[in-house]
Amino acid sequence: MLRFMNSVTDKPEWVRKVFEREIVDKWRGEVVTPGASPETEFTLKMFDYCIKELQDLAPRHLESLNGAIKVYNGDVYKSDAAVPQQTKLALQQAVRTLEDIPDHHKDWHPGSNDKVLDLVHPSLFPLIYGKTRVLPAGSEVTNLEDCVKRCGEGEVLHLPKPRFPNLVEPDDDTSGGYSKTFQWLPCEVDISGNEPK
């Protein structure tokens, strides 16, 4: 339901479209899946609830000074107007080099019908236990200016020891929800100042 409401609020002029019967009927035909498995079924009641929720949000969205709309609990907002047009165009220009690649190299997101292109997916460049080098605790932090020069520094990171060594766990790679082989790498992002990094 959240995915559907998020996709609607991504559409231009969604605040008008949620009140137009013809458009809502079209969305209903695209989304409602009677007879699907319980895990994937999107019922008519679910759809109707989502539309009512969006119709309730629409007037508040129009009153928002920065175009922000609350999309999830936990104070998560999204906005089409928060990023200045000049910044948006600069980002789109910078990303073009990642998009303009031969079709056979494009990594389309599964289930998106070739509409969502994963430009740099974190699964492509993960930490690999027993192979990836990490800087020891207390080392000088690397940054964009010296990261290439410092490539190869550090020690190979081995799989962490189990927190509960006497607990018998299955041998598969995903026991406990964590991989024993890979881990996505977090990254720090600084959007302050005139030169975000």
CA–CA distance, 164 with 159 (Å, rounded to integer):
14
Selection from 19, 64, 84 nearest residue 8 by Cα: 19
Determine, yes or no, domain membership for 92.
no
DSSP 8-state class, residue 183: E
Question: Quick check: 109 pLDDT over 90?
Answer: no
pLDDT band at 64 (very low <50, low <70, confident <90, very high): confident
Q: Are 8 and 71 found together in one domain?
A: yes
The 10s digit of each residue's pLDDT in 124-160 is: 788 999 999 989 888 988 887 888 899 899 999 998 7
CA angle 85, 91, 93 (to 5 degrees): 105
Domain count, the chain: 2
Selection from 121, 141, 112 nearest residue 182 by Cα: 121
The kind and range of the H/E element at 134 are strand 133-134
The kind and range of the H/E element at 138 are none
Determine, yes or no, domain membership for 184.
yes
What integer pLDDT is reported at residue 196 of this predicted model?
62
**Full domain range(s) for residue 20:** 2-79
pTM of the model: 0.49
Domain boundary (28, 47, 79) is at 79
Q: Are 142 and 193 found together in one domain?
A: yes
Specify the pairing of strand 133-134 against strand 127-128.
Answer: unpaired
Q: Are 127 and 182 found together in one domain?
A: yes
- The answer to whether 48 and 42 are in contact (CB under 8 A) is no
The 10s digit of each residue's pLDDT in 122-133 is: 777 889 999 999
What integer pLDDT is reported at residue 159 of this predicted model?
84
CA 107 vs. chain centroid, Å, equals 15
What integer pLDDT is reported at residue 28 of this predicted model?
95
Domain boundary (16, 45, 79) is at 79
